């Protein structure tokens, strides 16, 4: 059995009268991929912040590599090799890939000036370790969500990560990007790094996790090897209920709500038409840069269409701005929730 890197014993955390964690035990081993699963409000985020030193537990014990840590804070956590990548990645969009990867090293060494050549070499070395291919001189704001995540992972590698925690890492990734991420995480595992993924997507958990811990209402429900779980056990322990699966039959009326006719925007998409009726669930898919995301941007007035017609409940409308879209009661959840949301 692999050595234990992190051990939490009887962790409690209260915020005023609200008890977010109720006696949680957790063990993370070196060189394993461990999934922490739970619904919203189960205590996952609070537990991550306890591990990273952002929250001090109300009660309980924390051991890192066998040493009890009495007052864990973010700096001590980082010194012990604990790195967390949150959903926003905590990167600087106005800096280059190389600058983002090297900046923590520069800060930790007290450097007063940036060594541009050294930063570039450091970035290339980190990218080589995880198999990422990016131009180290490109601004991060011009990268895809998946590549921004790669930058965040590269930064943890050069800071000697021993435990890498990823909070909902696949939320904004395509299936192909998810597979690339998993390849990288397995490579890190093989180097002896402990990886903890926060996720509750059943198929993804069963594909990547080796061990699984389930939280519910601030309590640990179970921990075990992934082959000890099936779909029914996972769902029941996650939700506390037996949920039977059934095929969804949409109730679609003949009442047309929205129609696009031959809409186009140069360089993004061309001559696209579709119609939605009341009750429809309509999907638009395609590869990266196929125009799928740009259609959503256009219909919400971020980058309006240049030709074609849009109809709402049978009446032609103009959407030239986000204000127009909101006035027509159109809502939008964009691909990049952090910068566009």
Co-location of 231 and 323 in the same domain: no
Report the pLDDT averaged over residues 286-312.
89
pLDDT tier for residue 309 given thresholds of 50, 70 and 90: very high
Is the pLDDT score of 256 beyond 80? yes
Q: Cα separation of 245 and 79, whole Å?
A: 46
Co-location of 262 and 181 in the same domain: no
Is the pLDDT score of 174 beyond 80? no
In percent, how much of the chain has pLDDT > 90? 53
What confidence tens digit (pLDDT) does each residue in 95-110 have? 899 998 888 776 666 6
Q: Cα separation of 300 and 294, whole Å?
A: 10
Report the pLDDT averaged over residues 74-88.
89
Co-location of 224 and 262 in the same domain: no
How many residues are recorded in the chain? 341
Is the pLDDT score of 205 beyond 80? yes
For residue 136 the two structure tokens come to 């180290």
Residue 281: what pLDDT? Answer: 87
Let me know if residue 246 belongs to a domain: no
Co-location of 288 and 220 in the same domain: no
Count of structural domains within the chain: 2
Is the pLDDT score of 315 beyond 80? yes
Residue 107: what pLDDT? Answer: 66
Co-location of 225 and 309 in the same domain: no
Co-location of 23 and 158 in the same domain: yes
Q: 340 vs 117, which has greater pLDDT?
A: 117
DSSP classification of residue 139: B
Co-location of 180 and 303 in the same domain: no
DSSP classification of residue 42: S
Co-location of 169 and 296 in the same domain: no
Let me know if residue 248 belongs to a domain: no
pLDDT tier for residue 214 given thresholds of 50, 70 and 90: very high
HSE of 300, CA atoms in CB hemisphere, 13 A? 14
Q: Cα separation of 177 and 255, whole Å?
A: 38
Q: CB of 28 within 8 A of CB of 163? A: yes
For residue 24 the two structure tokens come to 């949680």
Let me know if residue 250 belongs to a domain: no
- What residues make up the domain containing 182? 4-239
Let me know if residue 154 belongs to a domain: yes
Co-location of 306 and 167 in the same domain: no
Let me know if residue 245 belongs to a domain: no
Co-location of 146 and 273 in the same domain: no
Q: Cα separation of 287 and 175, whole Å?
A: 10
Beta strands in 16-124 (DSSP E): 18-29, 33-37, 59-64, 67-68, 82-85
Is the pLDDT score of 331 beyond 90? yes
Co-location of 283 and 192 in the same domain: no
Let me know if residue 284 belongs to a domain: yes
Q: Looking at 52-56, 96-100, 263-267, 286-290, which range is the least confident one?
A: 286-290
Is the pLDDT score of 40 beyond 90? no
Residue 108: what pLDDT? Answer: 65
Report the pLDDT averaged over residues 286-296.
82
For residue 174 the two structure tokens come to 């395509």
Co-location of 291 and 330 in the same domain: yes
Let me know if residue 251 belongs to a domain: no
Q: Cα separation of 234 and 255, whole Å?
A: 40
Let me know if residue 308 belongs to a domain: yes
pLDDT tier for residue 338 given thresholds of 50, 70 and 90: low
CATH number, position 179: 3.40.50.300
Tell me which of 239, 269, 302 is where a domain ends. 239
């Amino acid at each position: 059995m692999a050595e234990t890197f992190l051990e939490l014993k009887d962790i409690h955390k209260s915020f005023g009268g609200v008890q977010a964690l109720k006696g949680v035990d957790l063990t993370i081993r070196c060189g394993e991929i461990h999934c922490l699963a739970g619904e919203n409000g189960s205590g996952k985020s609070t537990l991550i912040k306890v591990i990273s030193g952002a929250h001090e537990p109300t009660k309980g014990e924390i051991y890192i590599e066998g040493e009890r840590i009495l007052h864990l804070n973010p700096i001590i956590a980082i010194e012990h090799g604990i790195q967390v990548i949150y959903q926003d990645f905590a990167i600087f969009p106005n800096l280059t890939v190389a600058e983002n990867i090297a900046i923590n090293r520069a800060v930790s060494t007290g450097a007063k000036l940036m060594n541009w050549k050294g930063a570039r070499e450091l970035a290339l070395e980190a990218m080589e370790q995880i198999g990422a291919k990016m131009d180290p001189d490109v601004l991060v704001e011009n990268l895809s969500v998946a590549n921004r995540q790669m930058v965040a992972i590269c930064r943890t590698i050069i800071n000697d990560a021993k435990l890498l925690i990823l909070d909902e890492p696949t939320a904004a990734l395509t299936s192909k990007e998810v597979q690339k991420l998993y390849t990288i995480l397995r490579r890190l595992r093989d180097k002896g790094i402990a990886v903890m993924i926060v996720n509750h997507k059943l198929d993804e958990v069963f594909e990547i996790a080796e061990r699984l811990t389930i939280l519910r209402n601030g309590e640990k429900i179970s921990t075990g090897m992934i082959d000890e779980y099936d779909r029914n056990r996972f769902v029941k322990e996650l939700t506390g209920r037996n949920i039977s699966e059934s095929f969804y039959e949409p109730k679609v009326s003949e009442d047309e709500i929205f129609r696009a006719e031959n809409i186009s925007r140069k360089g993004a998409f061309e001559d696209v038409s579709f119609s939605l009726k009341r009750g429809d669930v309509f999907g638009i898919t395609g590869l990266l840069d196929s125009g799928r995301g740009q259609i959503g941007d256009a219909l919400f007035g971020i980058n309006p269409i240049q030709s074609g017609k849009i109809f709402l409940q049978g009446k032609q409308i103009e959407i030239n701005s986000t204000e127009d879209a909101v006035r027509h009661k159109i809502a939008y959840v964009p691909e990049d929730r952090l910068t566009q949301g």
